[in-house]
Amino acid sequence: MQDRTPAPAWLRAVAVVAAVAALLSTLPDPASRTGAVAYLVPVALAFALTALAVPRVPRPRRGPWCWLLAGQLLYLVGESTLAGLQLRGSEAWPTPADAVYLLAYVPVTVGLLGLNRQRGGASHRGSLLDAGVVTLSAATLFGVFVVLPLATDSTQGALARVTSAAYPIADVVLVHLLARMVTGPGARTRAFWFLAGGTAATVVADVAWTVVQHRTGGDVAPRSLNVLWLSFYLSIALAAFSASAPALAEKKPAGTGGLTPLRLVVLALAAALPSGVLVLLALTGGTTPVAWLATGSVLLIALVVARIWDLLQQVRSQAVQLAALARTDPLTGAANRRTWDHELSRACATARAQGTSFLVALLDLDRFKAFNDSRGHQAGDELLKAATAAWTEALAGDGFLARWGGEEFAVLLPFTTDPAPALARADALRAVVPHGQTCSIGTAGWDGVEEPATVLRRADAALYSAKTGGRDRLVHDGPATAAAGATGPSTPATGATARRTT
């Protein structure tokens, strides 16, 4: 008989939770003594699972989970207190359990914010604005239809009104945390979905319980709402117990802001909801604090405008980055061949207009293929980057450097009348080639009338002469003392001699 592979820890935890949920569905009336005691079983189980799981999270990422564990403890204390009051037949409200429930929102909020910060959500402006739209929409509706009626209910005492209003306010905080989790960057692991689903469940349960109380005035929640509240407790435990809990803090690139079609629909509905409710009430003759709904609608418009502005800034930034990528060589960071062609054409036009000239130099690293084959492509790439950095520093802004292709580079050196200083600067580039390597250089001075391709072709021919002539040398196509703007044809001539033989 073959041994069976043990089920993963998270699967075993899910099985336990499923069994508890199935047991809960068979419980007697939640208002009974048996129901009150039995309700504590999954709450205690959730706290125990969380307490066992949190130490397994790596210490650098454990802080937010410790806050969630503290919240679980407060929930257990609150539920135990409420169960004790029910067993004694107490009907007073608010109860000490309410103070504990409200206090539990604090560590839960800190824990979820800490996880969001670890995931990089705190620095992503687009996600913060998206979460702000959803939160403001919920806050407007909660404030108009729940908080204000509860806070102004003269049939209740001051403490009862404050407690009643505190719960929907705390739910708005949970809505904000849920929106930040869903809209922010970060890994979408199993632990993430447990936390997001549990947070959504408790918000739905709280809203439904408020509606039930308004309609029936009852003080015992239906079993379905108890299941939703228990799922919140258990989801925290499952998230901590999941093997993906440490990965929940992994950051992911924000991309283009995450504006998927689904997110756009949700944001549009959230932004339009208060205004839609206002229109509906006007059509049906309903009475409500119009000023509050109108204020919320105006603030939502401001947030939407801010989100559009943020998107425009992202598009502009990406356009600048794409333009830079189109102009530069990705390996060395030097200008690429496309940029070189543009600069060479511009140099011809400028020199023609100003009566000056310029020198074109083509540099080729000697025996680069052998270097690459013997030391590896990584070493070859490092040589190219180091050579680019050395040549850029040697030019000190007095010249334009581009990667021509492979191990070949092109340099543009302007001069006024005498090309000799430009030739000296070009030849000085041989002295700074890193890693003990050498390079060959071919140069040509613009004759004042030729096309850019022609002067480049002459420099390429001079480079070929330098390579075939022994490498590690500079060959110039034309006299080193030719005047700028000369119209006569140039003739190949060797400029600087070799630094060392190869």
Q: Are 439 and 427 within 8 A, CB to CB?
A: no
Q: How far is 128 from 264, CA to CA, in rounded Å? A: 15
DSSP, collapsed to helix, strand or coil, labels residue 141 as helix
Structure tokens that stand for 139 in this block: 């806050």
Looking at residue 319, its pLDDT comes to 85
Report which of 134, 119, 118 is spatially closest to residue 303, judged by C-alpha positions.
134
Question: Are 359 and 248 members of one domain?
Answer: no
Selection from 91, 103, 210 nearest residue 150 by Cα: 210
| pLDDT tens over the chain, length 502 residues | 343 444 466 556 666 665 665 565 555 666 677 777 778 888 888 899 899 999 988 888 899 999 999 999 999 999 999 889 888 877 788 899 999 999 999 999 999 999 988 887 666 788 888 999 999 999 998 888 888 887 787 777 888 888 888 999 999 999 999 998 888 887 888 889 999 999 999 999 988 887 777 766 666 677 788 888 988 998 999 899 887 788 787 776 555 455 678 788 888 888 898 888 888 877 877 666 788 888 888 999 999 899 889 888 888 888 888 877 788 999 999 999 999 999 999 999 999 999 999 999 999 999 999 999 899 999 999 999 999 999 999 998 889 999 998 999 999 999 988 899 999 999 999 999 999 999 999 999 998 889 999 999 999 999 999 999 999 999 999 754 333 333 333 334 444 333 333 3
Look up residue 500 and give its amino acid. Answer: R
Domain limits for position 486: 337-494
344 in any annotated domain:
yes
Q: Is residue 227 part of a domain?
A: yes
**Which position has the token pair 């401001």?**
302
Are 93 and 198 within one domain?
Answer: yes
Q: Is residue 452 part of a domain?
A: yes
- The answer to whether residue 441 is domain-embedded is yes
Helix (H) or strand (E) holding 480: none
The reply to whether 415 falls in a domain is yes
Q: Is residue 303 domain-resident?
A: no
Q: What is the pTM of this model?
A: 0.67
Please count the structural domains in the chain.
2
Together in a domain, 101 and 215? yes
Q: What is the pLDDT of residue 93?
A: 80
Residue 489 and residue 396 share a domain: yes
Task: Tell which of 254, 289, 316 closes a domain.
Answer: 254
In this predicted structure, what is the pLDDT of residue 496? 39
Pair 332, 405: CB distance under 8 Å: no
CATH number at residue 404: 3.30.70.270
CA distance 384 to 382: 5
CA 117, 122, 123, 127 dihedral sign is: positive
Residue 115 lies in a domain: yes
Distance (Å, whole) CA 215 – CA 218: 8
Residue 28, Cβ neighbours under 10 Å: how many?
A: 12
Residues 98 and 215 in one domain: yes
Extended strands (E) in 190-313: none
Judgement on whether residues 238 and 116 belong to the same structural domain of the protein? yes
Give the residue from 157, 179, 193 showing the smallest Cα distance to 14: 193
Q: Taking each helix axis from N to C terminus, what angle separates 63-87 and 40-53, rounded to the nearest 10 degrees? A: 160
pLDDT at residue 278, as a whole number:
82
Tell me the CB-side half-sphere exposure of residue 213, using CA atoms within 13 A.
14
344 and 197 share one domain: no
Residues 244 and 357 in one domain: no
Domain end (from 213, 230, 254): 254
**What does the alpha-carbon distance between residue 27 and residue 19 come to, in Å, rounded to a whole number?**
13
Name the domain boundary from 254, 285, 309: 254
Phi, psi angles (nearest 5°) of residue 93: -150, 140
∠ CA 357-362-364, rounded to 5° = 165
Position 28 scores a pLDDT of 60
How far is residue 270's CA from residue 189's CA, in Å, rounded to a whole number?
Answer: 26
**Same domain assignment for residues 361 and 469:** yes
Report if residue 410 sits inside a domain. Answer: yes
On whether both 247 and 342 belong to a single domain, the answer is no
DSSP 490: P
% helix, strand, coil for the chain, step of 5: 65, 10, 25
13 and 107 inside one domain? yes
Residues 214 and 76 placed together within one structural domain of the fold: yes
